[in-house]
Amino acid sequence: MIFFGDLDVFSRGRGGQLRLWALGAGLAVVPGVALAVPKPAETPAKEAAPAKKPGQGLDRELPSPYSAKSDGVLPARPSPNPDAAYGAYQRGRYVTAFREATKRIEANPKDAPAMTLLGELYNQGLGTKQDPKRALEWYRLAAAQGEPHAMASLGLMAMDGRGQPKDAKAGREWLEKAAQRGEPAAAYNLALIQIADAKPEEHAAAATNFRKAAEAEIASAQHALGVLYLQGKGVKRDTVQAAQWFRRAADNGDLAGEVEFAIRLFLGDGVTKDEARAARYFLHAARRGNAIAQNRVARLYLHGRGVPKNLIEAAGWNLAATAQGRSDDVLDQATAGLTPDERKRAEALAAERAGQ
């Protein structure tokens, strides 16, 4: 029988909307849902550790889910603008960032990065009153200087109708300009538009742009490129390439990539079959709250594949997945014979995992 099948998890967020990436004034790329406006983290870098979300940090608690020499884990790149304005922005000191960016523009009226930073602060209402129209003014001034981050932000704002009427055509044009200048988030967003088109040539163009973003270590782009290789869409079908990109996406924290790579490991599709390693990836994703992974882990425990057979663990993970809408009649029937005490223990495990 088919234990696991391929997942249809390609670039879809909640409600089935395409996921787009928004820009943080050239400092960071933050994933959102369908043209979501970016909200950079306010936790000061190096001054205090950011609060962990449920399930974060679990990769360090696992025996060895990832290779220490993974190709997908690359050193963090330094900021191209290690100055007072961007330093303050990165640390969540937005009033200081606004003041320092203003000083830079007073000293150099053609300072495009400073213009972009002011645009971002106005766009998000960080350190000043939120004003999308003022944000547009600064982004446009920066774009006129050839600043790709500003161009990408203009593209997202045009598509979202933020501070202006919606204009998908203008939005795409801005994204194309930014992508041509090497802006990886713009390349990713443009690829999402292209892949939704029915024309084969658009799919090939999407693959090219996903690759640009993937090589810049945007995890969602790495997962998307893996899906294209798995489906043979826009590129020649290549399960080895698919597995490699899923691995890189997983190493960069993408849940969908992590689950897909676990499936490839379990099936031996494009990578050497390794059920124990697949189980570690599934467990990691399950502990981060992924319902699909929780369901797969339950089945692993049910059949003793990659992990010791354990009906209580199977029931616990099944209950956790079911609570998120991922029900499984096979698992329900297989664990129906648990004693009241065993059922109570399984429910306690599920409650514990729901609170992670």
Asked if residue 99 has pLDDT above 50, the reply is yes
Q: How far apart are CA 325 and CA 356, in angstroms?
A: 18
Asked if residue 158 has pLDDT above 60, the reply is yes
Are 291 and 306 a contacting pair, CB within 8 Å?
A: no
Are 119 and 152 a contacting pair, CB within 8 Å?
A: no
For the domain covering 19-46+83-195, report its CATH number.
1.25.40.10
The per-residue pLDDT for 289 is: 95
pLDDT digits (tens, 9 = 90+) for 165-213: 999 999 999 999 999 999 999 999 999 999 999 999 999 999 999 999 9
| pTM exceeding the 0.85 threshold for the entire prediction | no
**Domain residues of the chain, as ranges?**
19-46+83-195
pLDDT digits (tens, 9 = 90+) for 263-313: 999 999 999 999 999 999 999 999 999 999 999 999 999 999 999 999 999
* Mean pLDDT score of the chain: 82
Cα dihedral 216, 221, 222, 228 in deg (nearest 10): -140
Asked if residue 151 has pLDDT above 90, the reply is yes
Mean pLDDT on 345-351: 96
Are 282 and 300 a contacting pair, CB within 8 Å?
A: yes
Q: Is 220 exposed, middle or buried (0-12, 13-18, 19+ CB in 10 A)?
A: buried
Q: How far apart are CA 233 and CA 235, in angstroms?
A: 5
12 - beta bridge partners?
Answer: 18
Mean pLDDT on 336-343: 96
Q: How far apart are CA 96 and CA 291, in angstroms?
A: 42
A 10 A CB-CB count for 352 gives 11
Asked if residue 62 has pLDDT above 80, the reply is no
**Residue located via tokens 């406006």:** 37
The per-residue pLDDT for 89 is: 95
